[in-house]
Structure 1
Amino acid sequence: MNIFSKIEKIAYSILLAIVLFGLILGLWDDIYFDVNYAQEDGPVEWGTAIMLFGIFALSLYHLLTLWNTKKILWKVGTFLFVVLFLFAAGEEISWGQRIFGVESSEFFIENNAQGETNLHNLVVGKKKINKIIFSQLLFLVMFLYLLITPILFRKFSWFKDLANKFAVPIVKWHHTIAFIVVTVLVALNPASRKWEVYELAFGAIFFLIFLGPLNKEIFEPEQPK
């Protein structure tokens, strides 16, 4: 068993324990779950931010260490992941606003559902962007990425070449299974803030995908031809 397999087993065990404990707690006392377990700035939210920042750091490491051995499209793809996950991690903790005690500007006080400096809680036409983009659109993207992408990657050489050129990590089937299991367990939780646990699962599983993708060769130096 290699080191990545050990890390995956440990990570899945911890994630399952977190999700199951959250489900039991939500079934037992959903108010306590919302106020304590999945509270704002609580351990679950911080866990999500750490996972997202971990993906950012891992992507940045790949970009810097492999810069001289990779082609431009690979660099573009990896750079986009660096920006995407740095943004996601920053949004999760409102860019450190509460940590450093920074007051929100008048714009965010008036247009943000929580009066915080972040985009995902902005209200547009009485609807939160979080509901429109960060929930519905993100779910569609995750569905395509976790279920459709691995099929296309295995079946079509053109898709495989495209994914490898842009440094898109392809999921292994155990990543997909883990996400389906977590989705079912979280959906059974009656607590209103259960999706905070789902976000943590999202971050943890995606970190594992970036750590050990099916196409792991994209994170190896290219051999001169």
Structure 2
Amino acid sequence: MWTTANGTGGAGPAPQTETVPTPAGDARITWHRAPDARAVLALGHGAGGGVEARDLAALAATLPPRGVSVALVEQPWRVAGKKVAPAPKTLDVGWRAVWPALTGPGLPVVAGGRSAGARVACRTGRELGARAVLALSFPLHPPGKPASSRASELLDAGLPTLVVQGGRDPFGRPEEFPDGTEIVEVPEADHGFAVPKKAARTQEETLTLLTDAVAKWLDRIAH
């Protein structure tokens, strides 16, 4: 089922939403299509919010003019209006069921997401045939519990993977990641890529740093 969604601003086709049945309930894709797309970037949201997150919205607004369609994927629990995310394996079930719709345009698909969505992309990307993985605000460990590391999910992705991480993210600062991780630090940003008013960069400049870094990486791996 297709409907037209409200845009995020700027020129280009209006976003469209697609409802996709999954074993965990209906998921929803909001498509921000590039006029001459060469790839699709599929982005899942975190456990504490939806696709309105500032980093996801910024990528959806800026990448289509650069030739990358962005598909924002809302997990069934969010579509159903629930407040708490289900277990990781249920998130994976929903993501797997949405994948055929993401590959529908016949383009290379980069799997990605923020926080819990990044973990889903890491766990499932290789089996689904993703070109690469984009991990925004990867939750390396629960805040204050560095010993409870989730680094294995990142290391086992088995695909080219870019981590974009806030410099003061309590779920894992950039310097805590394993050696060899391809990582872009967003200075002074927290888990949601918010920066203090006294930061060297404004919020807008911070998001531009993020989107430019992702665009350059996509130029390299999604062609």
TM over 0.5: no
Q: Which has the higher helix share?
A: 1
Q: Which has more radius of gyration?
A: 1
Q: What TM-score bracket applies, with the shorter chain setting the length? A: under 0.3
Q: Which has the higher strand share?
A: 2
Higher relative contact order (CA 8 A, sep 6+): 1
The normalised TM-score by structure 1 is 0.26
